[in-house]
Amino acid sequence: MIASSLQIMLWDKEIGRLSWDARRGVSFFEYNPAFLGGRLDPFPLVASVKSPASRRPIMGDRETKLYRKLPPFLADSLPDAWGNQVFECWRIQNGIRNQEITPLEILSFIGKRGMGALEFIPESSGIRKSEKLNMKLLTDLAQRIFLERENVRLLPDESLTMQSLIAVGTSAGGRQPKAIIAINPKTGEIRSGQIAGHKGFDYCILKFGDAEHSSAELEMAYYKMARAAGISMMPCRIIEIEGQTLEDALALGKENGIRKAESIIGEVASAIRQFRHFAEECEVSQRWIGAVEATLNQHLAEWGLLERRKNVAFRIGETLFEKVRVEKTYKGNYHLLCEVDGKEHKFVITGKKEEYALIDRVGTDNLTDEQLYSLVETFFVG
């Protein structure tokens, strides 16, 4: 398999070659002389065709781990966390040692399936144009790879499903499992979105849902918030594959113009305040509605866009508890806070406490005075 050189293609034109120097353990890129005479300048800031340096080999970055010894303008085509998980599973399945893998192998693995305009030839693996995808098998395997990571072991009859997942899933960026697909809105048939020219098919980014975290439903709620905020974007929808929810988006929307910042911020804040409504409409699990809402409200408050109750106070016995409130921490716990005689008191409510589930469900800003009183009585008095 070992790839020592790749053609770098842009819109069916070879812009240059990427090679691997095994002795020095670094890559280098050379422009195609014919491309240098053209009008395109794909990397004007870092490797402009107008620069004298473009006539010489451009070495990979050996210092920055992120670039993996590739020139930075090519390293951006490498897969993100999810694509790397799929690649790692494929590597183990094929008995290839990790030390044998170079960044060129990974780029050849991406081939023509990248999210950007660049293509890498020769490419490894592929999928036939007419091949239909079994989304149930694909979804199950994607979930296993995401959860089990390098410990996943493929069954003999899963090899074809793995090939399909490689074909549609390695180039889609980000951490969560996703794939690029083509779906026929009339028949529901799904094919690889990496093959151009499927007539009657919509091309989508499909995100595999995670039932435990309501990820597909949360994505849909955020989509509705974005639309409510006046952000123009292509349609998103929830699809169900034998009881499992997935979310697909046709494309990323583009703005038609720029309005005043105050107007935009106001609409965004208004949409964020509607999160609970959208989340319930999308059937997000109650445990996540309160948790996400608390974080969103905290942001709004910090931006000065949310009026919070300034001083909730209770007298229990001889003690006056002032500025009673609940805040969520970055670790996921809740802090019950109050002041007694000018001194702040704090109690950490962890996931082991039954009150944690209540706060998660209701949300920190929706706790009633009676509920806050009960929390103070339980943790500061009792």
User: For residue 178, is pLDDT > 70?
Assistant: no
Neighbours of 16 (CB within 10 A): 24
pLDDT digits (tens, 9 = 90+) for 331-351: 888 999 999 999 999 999 998
Q: pTM for the complete prediction?
A: 0.47
Distance between CA atoms of residues 186 and 334, nearest Å: 47
pLDDT value of residue 236 = 83
Report yes or no: 40 and 48 within 8 Å, Cβ to Cβ.
no
Distance between CA atoms of residues 21 and 57, nearest Å: 12
Distance between CA atoms of residues 29 and 239, nearest Å: 43
Among 279, 375, 295, 374, smallest CA distance to 329 is for 295
What amino acid occupies position 252? L
pLDDT value of residue 159 = 41
Sign of the C-alpha dihedral computed for residues 238, 239, 245 and 251 taken in this order: negative
Distance between CA atoms of residues 373 and 326, nearest Å: 12
pLDDT value of residue 241 = 59
pLDDT digits (tens, 9 = 90+) for 355-378: 998 888 888 888 889 999 999 999
pLDDT band of residue 180 (cuts 50, 70, 90) is low
pLDDT value of residue 344 = 94
Beta strand pairing call for 319-328 and 314-316:
antiparallel
User: For residue 127, is pLDDT > 50?
Assistant: no
The lowest-confidence range among 121-130, 284-293, 306-315, 353-362 is 121-130
pLDDT digits (tens, 9 = 90+) for 65-102: 777 788 888 877 777 666 666 677 666 666 667 777 78
pLDDT digits (tens, 9 = 90+) for 237-252: 777 655 554 444 443 3
Q: What are the domain boundaries of the chain?
A: 5-121, 135-249, 261-302, 314-381
